[in-house]
Amino acid sequence: MWSKGLEVKLCAERLGLNLSMDTFSNRLDLQKSFYLMQVFGVDLGFRFGWYLRGPYCSELTKTAFELKEEADIISNIQGQLPQYVESRIENYRHWISSTKPEHISPIAWKELLGSLHYLKHIAYLPNGKSKEAVCTELKERKSWYSEDDINLGGMH
């Protein structure tokens, strides 16, 4: 099996993600989890652009669908992540769970944090990268998040 597919499989298992790709929620969780995981230093070489719901990588989606198509073969393949990757994934998991407010779903929290990070560190914003500019841009793109929610997300 190709190594990128195996890496995605192993990381998704470690993150507790459902790779079925059957629901929008599963696909959204995959995208935001892998984006944020890469922020934590687990770089699998996926490059993200901005899409309607924030950071998105078509190559990641393609890889996940290939994994789904080859589910029988893949279920028998074993592998192990390097210890430093395991450690970074654990740091990411702890951070996500310890910062999430009760009133926001885990997927919505990942979407908010990933979007804030992307706008602050990757996107071009004509009004600059100040906290105010990033928060204003996010509010324009994702009006369903309250200003309080955006402030809870901070400038990660």
pTM, two decimals, is: 0.89
Domain limits, the chain: 3-151
Partners of 55 in the β-ladder: 50
Instruction: State the distance between the two ends of the chain, measured CA to CA, in whole angstroms.
Output: 35
Q: Alpha carbon of 122 to those of 10, 26, 61, 73: distances in Å?
A: 27, 24, 20, 37
- Dist CA 122 CA 101 (whole Å): 25
pLDDT digits (tens, 9 = 90+) for 24-70: 999 999 999 999 999 999 999 999 999 989 999 999 999 998 887 77
CA distance 69 to 54: 26
